[in-house]
Amino acid sequence: MILLDGKKTSNEIKEEIAKKVVELKSQGKKTPHLAAVIVGENGASLTYVNAKVKACEKVGFDSTLVSLPIDVSEADLLNKIDELNNDDNIDGFIVQLPLPDHIDEHKVTLAVNPMKDVDGFHPENLGRMMLGLPCFLPATPAGILELLDRYDIETSGKSCVVIGRSHIVGSPMSVLMARNTKVGNCTVTLTHSRTQNLEEITREADIIIVALGKAEFLTADMVKEGVVIVDVGITRVSDDSKKSGFKLLGDVKFEEVAAKSSYITPVPGGVGPMTIASLMLNTLQAIDMK
């Protein structure tokens, strides 16, 4: 079993990006600038946004953090998005999800300028992805592709099962793994809560990508020997033995599934860091797209 080390790989990517930023500056070109909008003080969201800010510092990007109160009106949030859309100094920005119940996430997603949508959530970017046109790929799926590529995992002709059909990970992942590209050319099965005989399907898979948000959902009896496992899930579970009072679990029962896997991502330290690295790559791409 080989660990798909997202932390190590993302650090390598950040070093590559940092060199490119130095080149841009030496040529008198603009320093990439990423902004993040966060509403309220959700602990997990704050942790994630802070990690993005630190990543910007590491690669030499400029960064702006826009913190808005939990009771900010939808209109005020949309006005802030409009400001960022029209700020030539900002190359890309993200609005951290989830948002409070009184704000329509779809309306917010549509309000972001597709040319600055470095999270890759706007329908225009998703549509261009479907057609194989230049676009911002959704950050988490793009990070997974990068991880599989850098570990030289063969995907062509393989059976890939994606568990979970969210618009953020599962659905775009199924499209990307089927594309006629180096990391792609899989025969993909997209499964979800209504799928029958899931275990029969997963036991035939060469590659399984799990994005459910259900702790330790995938167990050893659901996979075959030599399978490649990508675990996107991350769930906080109470643990009094930890100083934080909780531990993080993925969607895969790691120890038992790892014993049957050829490659597997850990949680934490697998997909999460790759998502942030992809966000940095998308922001660098935004400079070129201008």
Q: Between helices 170-178 and 139-150, what is the axis angle to 10°? A: 40
Contact 198, 187 (CB under 8 A): no
Is the torsion defined by CA of 165, 277, 55, 248 positive or negative? positive
Active site residue: 14, 52, 116, 253, which one? 52
**Class of residue 128 by CB neighbours under 10 A (exposed 0-12, middle 13-18, buried 19+):** middle
- Distance from chain centroid for Cα 198: 24
CA separation for the pair 97, 243 (Å, rounded):
27
SS3 87: coil
Please enumerate in sequence order all residues whose Cβ is within 8 A of that of 10, keeping only pairs 6 or more positions apart, or say none. Answer: 143, 273, 274, 276, 277
Respond yes or no: is residue 119 known to be catalytic: yes
14, 80, 91, 96: which is the annotated catalytic residue?
96
Q: What is d(CA 81, CA 109) in angstroms, rounded to the nearest whole number?
A: 10
Q: Of residues 91, 119, 206, 251, which has the active-site annotation?
A: 119
DSSP 238-285: E-TTSTTSEEEE-SB-HHHHHTTEEEE--SSSSHHHHHHHHHHHHHHH
Q: Across the strands, what pairs with 65?
A: 36
> Cα separation of 220 and 218, whole Å?
7
Question: Which of the residues are catalytic?
Answer: 52, 96, 119
